[in-house]
Amino acid sequence: MVAIIEEMAKKIEAEKDYLTQLDNEIGDGDHGINMARGFAAVEKKLPSLRDGDIGSLLKGVGMQLVSTVGGASGPLYGTAFMKAGMACKGLTELDGPAFVKAMEAAVDGIKMRGKATEGEKTMLDALCPALKAMQDDVAAGKSLKEALTDAAAAAEKGVEYTKTIIATKGRASYLGERSVGHQDPGATSAFYLLQVLAEMA
Amino acid sequence: MVGVVLVSHSQKAAEGAAELALMMAPDAPVKAAGGLEDGSLGTSFEKISAAVEAADQGDGVALIMDMGSAVMTAEMVAESMDDRKISLLDCPFIEGAVIAALETAGGTPLSGMQEKVESGRDRKL
């Protein structure tokens, strides 16, 4: 899991400018910068989290994101990682059902923190379909790798879907109809994180 | 007195709102928590936490936020300090800051703050 977090940090750093560009179009233009700052701080913190169980690792990642991101993605991803960490308390590896539980806790945490739901042009439009795909695959007895691959594919579709809708949550909602045609930066970063999970599983 | 913490993405906006509030109620424990540590735009968990500690005189702290991450980060600070009495107020940022400062100086308790700052929505004149 430590290696996955490191890879997430690399991916976010690599896509920093693109995420910021997306956010420039319909937001306050800081998503890539904020996420990269947060994940760089997470990377620095990893040595002190390396020896614990997955629960404490994810909780530590979440707390670091809350403290360092500086934008809405801080409390949102921070809450997601912290809630996932609570769902993985004491575990040193994750099978399909455990992964689904962690992901459910993460998505519920984001909904709670952002008072948001699907269809509002947010990261949930990538995460909710991803969770659904993961739940279905695990229930059908597919491997974790398959489940995460399908989850990432569902998230990518979700990102495409955000181009077609009006933002009703977050900074982009101030733009109203002018937000249509642009893809949501938060959904995009959520897709990147899921893509890393699928590749590394 | 109830402490008042003003949380904005902008250090200047938070400090400016505090300045306006203190003009009316110079003795009120009003603290600004705007921007990130380096002064750039954003909201900082640490800055908000420190401002809450500085503003708390034992009667609790009211937080007034601008939007988005300011609200969510303030919530997380409040959750992390469950030994303190903290309320998040829903009101216009500047008007709410001025009203909250006046009310705390006048002895309004934390439980009465939300009702008082609500009037900021229709009190431009």
Each residue's pLDDT tens digit, A111-139: 999 999 999 999 999 999 999 999 999 99
**Is the model more confident about A77 or about A50?**
A77
Place of tokens 């992964």: A99
CATH of A2-200, one of 2.40.50.100, 1.10.40.30, 1.25.40.340, 3.40.50.300: 1.25.40.340
Task: Look at residue A173 and tell me whether its pLDDT is greater than 90.
Answer: yes
Taking CB atoms within 8 Å and a gap of at least 24, the contacts of B23-27 are B24/B98, B24/B101, B24/B102, B25/B101, B25/B102, B25/B104, B25/B105, B27/B1, B27/B105
SS3 of residue B21 by DSSP: helix
Q: What is the pLDDT of residue B111?
A: 98
Q: Does B10 touch chain A (CB under 8 A)?
A: no
How much is the mean pLDDT over chain A?
97
Min distance B66 CA to chain A CA atoms (Å): 12
Query: What residues of A are in contact with residue B48 (Cβ under 8 Å)?
Result: none
Min distance B77 CA to chain A CA atoms (Å): 10
Query: Is A75 within 8 Å of B73 when comparing Cβ atoms?
Result: yes
**Who's near B115: CB < 8 A, 6+ residues apart?**
none
Q: What is the pLDDT of residue B123?
A: 81
- In angstroms, the CA A119 to CA A45 distance is 34
Q: Does A80 touch chain B (CB under 8 A)?
A: no
Task: Look at residue B120 and tell me whether its pLDDT is greater than 90.
Answer: no
Q: What is the pLDDT of residue B125?
A: 83
Q: What is the pLDDT of residue A81?
A: 98
Q: Does A71 touch chain B (CB under 8 A)?
A: yes
Class for domain B3-55+62-109, per CATH?
alpha beta
Taken as a whole, chain B contains a residue count of: 125
Structural domain boundaries of chain A? 2-200
Q: What is the pLDDT of residue A192?
A: 98
Query: Is A170 within 8 Å of B68 when comparing Cβ atoms?
Result: yes
**What ipTM describes this predicted complex?**
0.90
Q: What is the pLDDT of residues B13-55, one digit of tens each?
A: 999 999 999 999 999 999 999 999 999 999 999 999 999 999 9
Degrees, nearest 5: CA angle A72-A194-A155: 85
Q: What is the pLDDT of residue B118?
A: 92
A-B CB pairs within 8 A amount to 46
Task: Look at residue A178 and tell me whether its pLDDT is greater than 90.
Answer: yes
Query: Is A71 within 8 Å of B76 when comparing Cβ atoms?
Result: no
Report the half-sphere exposure of B123 (CA within 13 A, side-chain side).
14
Percent of chain A with pLDDT over 90: 98
Query: Is B41 within 8 Å of A34 when comparing Cβ atoms?
Result: no
Q: Does B43 touch chain A (CB under 8 A)?
A: yes
| Residues of B classed as catalytic | 9
Query: Is B73 within 8 Å of A66 when comparing Cβ atoms?
Result: yes
- In angstroms, the CA A51 to CA A40 distance is 19
For residue B49, the chain A residue with the least C-alpha distance is: A67
Place of tokens 């489940």: A147
Interface probe with A: pick from B69, B77, B90, most Cβ of A within 10 Å:
B69
User: Do the Cβ atoms of A116 and A126 come closer than 8 Å?
Assistant: no
Q: What is the pLDDT of residue B77?
A: 98
Task: Look at residue B124 and tell me whether its pLDDT is greater than 90.
Answer: no
Q: What is the dihedral of CA B99, B102, B108, B111, to 10 degrees?
A: 30
Task: Look at residue B68 and tell me whether its pLDDT is greater than 90.
Answer: yes
Q: Does B41 touch chain A (CB under 8 A)?
A: yes
Interface probe with B: pick from A30, A86, A175, most Cβ of B within 10 Å:
A30
Task: Look at residue A18 and tell me whether its pLDDT is greater than 90.
Answer: yes
Query: Is B41 within 8 Å of A79 when comparing Cβ atoms?
Result: no
Q: A159, A23, A161, A130: which is closest to B41 by C-alpha?
A: A23
Query: Is B76 within 8 Å of A75 when comparing Cβ atoms?
Result: yes
Q: What is the pLDDT of residue A80?
A: 98
Q: What is the pLDDT of residues A54-109, one digit of tens each?
A: 999 999 999 999 999 999 999 999 999 999 999 999 999 999 999 999 999 999 99
Q: What is the pLDDT of residue A148?
A: 98
User: Do the Cβ atoms of A145 and A133 come closer than 8 Å?
Assistant: no
| Alpha-helical regions (H) of A88-123 | 96-114
Q: What is the pLDDT of residues B99-116, one digit of tens each?
A: 999 999 999 999 999 999
Phi/psi at B42 (nearest 5 deg)?
Answer: 150, 180
Q: What is the pLDDT of residues B71-88, one digit of tens each?
A: 999 999 999 999 999 999
Q: What is the pLDDT of residue A29?
A: 94
> What is the amino acid identity at position B26?
P
Min distance A67 CA to chain B CA atoms (Å): 5
